[in-house]
């Protein structure tokens, strides 16, 4: 858990840096909000398309080698971003990051549930993903880094750290020597099309897939809240990253701990708790997010961010455990890859659309209202997921 926690931190720190450095990057590359939003969307779309392949590779060849190669390649791409002379270079670097980072999460989360089952599964999954929140919070300091170090230096620094840590991880990380992760995976590995068809043949998995697609609306909040604070509410660049990204992820961490403890306790008797706990989170968060469009003021937005962030933590702690109730062990990484596919692709579409709408003089507050309706749909879909296999 300790080894993977730091990888998860780097995974989200590297991808979130660009979101909070919008001002200096746009000024130096001479681009608007639409092209700038494409940095995040390009990453998310490629990440999405690659994720099912990444999940299958982790199921087929083991979690460890996939994790190591993923970390090394995306860290090298992060380092290279610091040298980007043009907009196209920057897009290409984000594309490489999208491919390489996609291979990490399905393999890592599958490795976590290989080691942790039953009453520790949600908590273990959530604690690993707390590295994601920590990385995103550090990424929220991107505005400060851009002002203090220059945006290029920040990319070079964290890229170099990731490459060095990949060498350390190669010496220490091991696949789980378990019956579940060994006997199930050894000798009975289906072809990718068979594995995907098996998953899509489950109605419960399809509902989980649709709910995660709706969760793509959360990327609108993640990626555009700092800009909302800065450009529409008059908050400084440094504080906008802290108020948006850092507060969101701190709240997600708290929500993860709370949801993990509740769902682990309830799932002993009621396996549906893995899906119902995040459903409650979304149904509470959606009205709060919608209120931003009714009265767009900095105090209200700042109060909304932690509520929505907590709902994301509810899902993060329970997404893989919920998947474990509807998919067999040998399909888990592939299933998680499919979940990443729909969630991140939808997130990329919504993020890019938010930038285009802003360029068309539609305020982010209005875009957030649309996102709120989509998140409410996610909550409703999760209430319909029923376990099909033992947790």
At 368-383, the pLDDT tens digits run 889 999 999 999 999 9
- Do 262 and 269 meet the contact criterion of CB atoms below 8 Å apart? no
Label residue 142 by pLDDT band (50, 70, 90): low
The arrangement of secondary structure in 2-382, i.e. its CATH architecture, is Up-down Bundle (1.20)
**pLDDT > 70? residue 122:** yes
| CB neighbours of residue 16 within 10 Å | 26
Task: State the DSSP H helix or E strand holding residue 235, giving kind and residue range, or none if neither.
Answer: none
Label residue 186 by pLDDT band (50, 70, 90): very low
Q: What is the DSSP letter of 191?
A: -
Which of 11-15, 73-77, 201-205, 280-284 has the lowest average pLDDT? 11-15
Q: What is the DSSP letter of 215?
A: G
Kindly report each contact of residues 227-236 with a partner whose C-beta sits within 8 Å and lies 24 or more positions away, as own/partner.
227/22, 227/33, 227/358, 227/364, 228/301, 228/364, 228/365, 228/368, 229/298, 229/301, 230/22, 230/23, 232/296, 232/363, 232/364, 232/365, 233/296, 233/297, 233/298, 233/301, 234/298, 235/298
User: What does the radius of gyration of the chain's CA atoms come to, in whole angstroms?
Assistant: 20
Q: Which of 334, 352, 379 is nearest to 106 (CA)?
A: 334
What are the CA-CA distances from residue 148 to residues 75, 141, 152, 234, 238 (Å)?
22, 11, 11, 21, 11
pLDDT digits 0-9 by tens, 32-76: 777 887 777 778 788 888 888 888 898 888 889 999 999 999 999
User: What's the burial of 172, exposed, middle or buried (CB within 10 Å: 0-12/13-18/19+)?
Assistant: exposed
Chain mean pLDDT for the chain = 84
Computed from CA positions of residues 275, 276, 277, 283, in that sequence, does the dihedral angle turn out positive or negative?
Answer: positive
- State the average pLDDT over residues 75-81: 90
Give the contacts of 203 (CB within 8 A, at least 6 positions apart): none
Distance of CA 79 to the CA centre of its chain: 21
pLDDT digits 0-9 by tens, 21-33: 777 888 888 887 7
List the structure tokens of 291: 């209120």
- Do 336 and 105 meet the contact criterion of CB atoms below 8 Å apart? yes
> 298-324 and 121-139 helices cross at what angle (nearest 10)?
140
What does pTM read for this prediction? 0.76
List the structure tokens of 42: 């390009």
**pLDDT > 60? residue 242:** yes
- Which pLDDT does position 185 carry in this prediction? 44
Give the contacts of 302 (CB within 8 A, at least 6 positions apart): 243, 247
**pLDDT > 80? residue 390:** no
- Which pLDDT does position 140 carry in this prediction? 65
pLDDT digits 0-9 by tens, 318-371: 998 999 899 887 788 889 889 988 888 888 788 778 878 878 888 877 888 899
Label residue 113 by pLDDT band (50, 70, 90): confident
| Rounded Cα gap, residues 213 and 364, in angstroms | 21
**pLDDT > 70? residue 183:** no
User: What's the burial of 293, exposed, middle or buried (CB within 10 Å: 0-12/13-18/19+)?
Assistant: middle
- Which pLDDT does position 4 carry in this prediction? 94
**pLDDT > 80? residue 241:** no
Helix/strand/coil percentages in the chain, nearest 5: 85, 0, 15
């Amino acid at each position: 858990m300790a080894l993977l926690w730091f990888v998860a931190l780097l995974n989200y720190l590297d991808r979130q840096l660009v979101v909070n450095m919008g001002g200096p990057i746009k000024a130096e590359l001479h681009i608007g909000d639409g092209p700038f939003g494409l940095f995040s969307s390009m990453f998310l779309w490629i990440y999405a398309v690659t994720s099912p392949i990444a999940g299958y590779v982790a199921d087929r060849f083991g979690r460890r080698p996939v994790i190591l190669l993923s970390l090394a390649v995306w860290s090298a791409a992060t380092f290279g971003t610091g040298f980007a002379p043009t907009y196209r270079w920057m897009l290409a670097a984000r594309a490489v990051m999208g491919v390489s980072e996609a291979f990490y999460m399905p393999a890592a989360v599958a490795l976590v549930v290989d080691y942790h089952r039953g009453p520790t599964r949600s908590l273990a999954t959530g604690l690993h993903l707390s590295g994601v929140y920590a990385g995103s919070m550090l990424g929220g300091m991107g505005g400060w880094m851009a002002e203090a170090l220059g945006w290029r230096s920040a990319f070079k620094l964290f890229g170099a750290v990731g490459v060095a840590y990949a060498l350390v991880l190669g010496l220490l990380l091991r696949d789980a020597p378990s019956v579940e992760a060994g006997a199930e995976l050894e000798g009975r590995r289906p072809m990718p099309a068979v594995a995907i068809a098996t998953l899509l043949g489950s109605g419960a998995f399809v509902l989980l897939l649709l709910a995660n697609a709706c969760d793509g609306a959360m990327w609108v909040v993640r990626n555009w809240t700092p800009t909302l604070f800065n450009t529409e509410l008059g908050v400084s660049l440094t504080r906008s990253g802290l108020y948006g990204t850092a507060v969101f992820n701190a709240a997600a961490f708290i929500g993860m701990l709370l949801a993990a403890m509740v769902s682990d306790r309830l799932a002993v008797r009621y396996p549906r708790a893995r899906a119902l706990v995040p459903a409650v989170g979304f149904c509470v968060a959606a009205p709060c997010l919608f209120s931003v469009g009714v009265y767009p003021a900095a105090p209200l937005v700042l109060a909304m961010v932690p509520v929505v962030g907590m709902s994301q933590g509810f899902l993060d702690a329970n997404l893989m455990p919920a998947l474990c109730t509807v998919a067999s062990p040998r399909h888990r990484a592939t299933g998680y890859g499919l979940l990443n596919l729909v969630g991140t692709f939808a997130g990329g579409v919504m993020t890019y659309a938010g930038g285009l709408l802003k360029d068309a003089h539609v305020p982010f507050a209005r875009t957030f209202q649309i996102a709120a309706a989509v998140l409410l749909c996610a909550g409703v879909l999760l209430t319909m997921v029923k376990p099909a296999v033992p947790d």
